[in-house]
Amino acid sequence: MDETWTLSELVAEAATRLAALPPPKNGQVRAVPDDRTIRYYATIGLLDRPAAMRGRTALYSARHLAQVVAIKRMQSAGKSLADVQTVWASLDDVTLSRMSGVELPVKRATRKDFWKREAIDSAAAAPTPAPVVTPVTRIAPPQATPVELRIELAPGTYLTVEVPDGVSLTSADVRAVRAAAARLVTELANRGLIAHVLGTLEEKP
């Protein structure tokens, strides 16, 4: 089992580690924590639970020592405990060891850590899928709806013409169409397909 200390021993060990540090900038911050201060750190979540118990005596590990020294170093740099609390959850053993100068034992990887690492590596190695490009469908502008116009060429004979909506025929247009269709009407009458027309189509109103 790694070396452990009682609370009073932890205080003495922290004092030894802090002895070489420069005095804190804030004169109200004690350079060396006492038993009460370390208990307070535990109360506000800056100190882990004891590593073990010997009867009713709590035992503390190298990680606890690193936490105490790191807190005091941050305070010596002018940080308040509130400042320390904001970054505390993100500090891992490597960072704590670097900040405090306390060597922490390397944790042995567990099966759970192995599969977690495998999942992270697999996710990192997985190729990024190509973005899906949705073709843009161009919508043609609406076309004008054609309208059917009927022109009477002869009694019972009509010419149906599809023209765009909004277009109208004038009297001159109707006369011109009837004149152009005169030969067709005559041919239909000669073949007995329609009744003979008296006069000319141009004269029909």
pLDDT at 170: 79
CA 50 to chain centre: 41
In order, the DSSP letters of 55-85 are TTEEEB-HHHHHHHHHHHHHHHTT--HHHHH
Q: Are residues 94 and 28 in the same domain?
A: yes
pLDDT of residue 8 exceeding 90, the answer is yes
Q: Which amino acid is at 200?
A: T
The pLDDT, as a whole number, for residue 124 is 44
In a domain, 115, yes or no: no
Q: Is residue 125 part of a domain?
A: no
Q: How many domains does the chain have?
A: 2
Residue 124 in domain: no
Q: In this predicted model, what pLDDT tens digit does every residue of 109-159 receive, in sequence order?
A: 555 555 545 554 554 455 555 555 555 555 555 555 666 667 777 777 877
Q: Check residues 182 and 66 and name the one with the higher pLDDT.
A: 66
Flag whether 126 is in a domain.
Answer: no
Query: Which of 54, 82, 108 is the C-terminal boundary of a domain?
Result: 108
- Residues 182, 176: contact at Cβ < 8 Å? no
Q: For residue 9, is pLDDT > 70?
A: yes
The answer to whether residues 104 and 181 belong to one domain is no
15, pLDDT greater than 70: yes
The pair of structure tokens assigned to 204 is 């029909």
Domain carrying residue 170: 146-203
- Looking at residues 167-171, what average pLDDT do you find? 72
pLDDT tens, position by position, 65-122? 999 999 999 998 889 999 999 999 999 999 999 999 999 987 665 555 555 455 545 5
pTM metric for this prediction: 0.51
Q: Model confidence at 203, in pLDDT bands (50, 70, 90)?
A: very low
Region 183-199: what's the mean pLDDT? 78
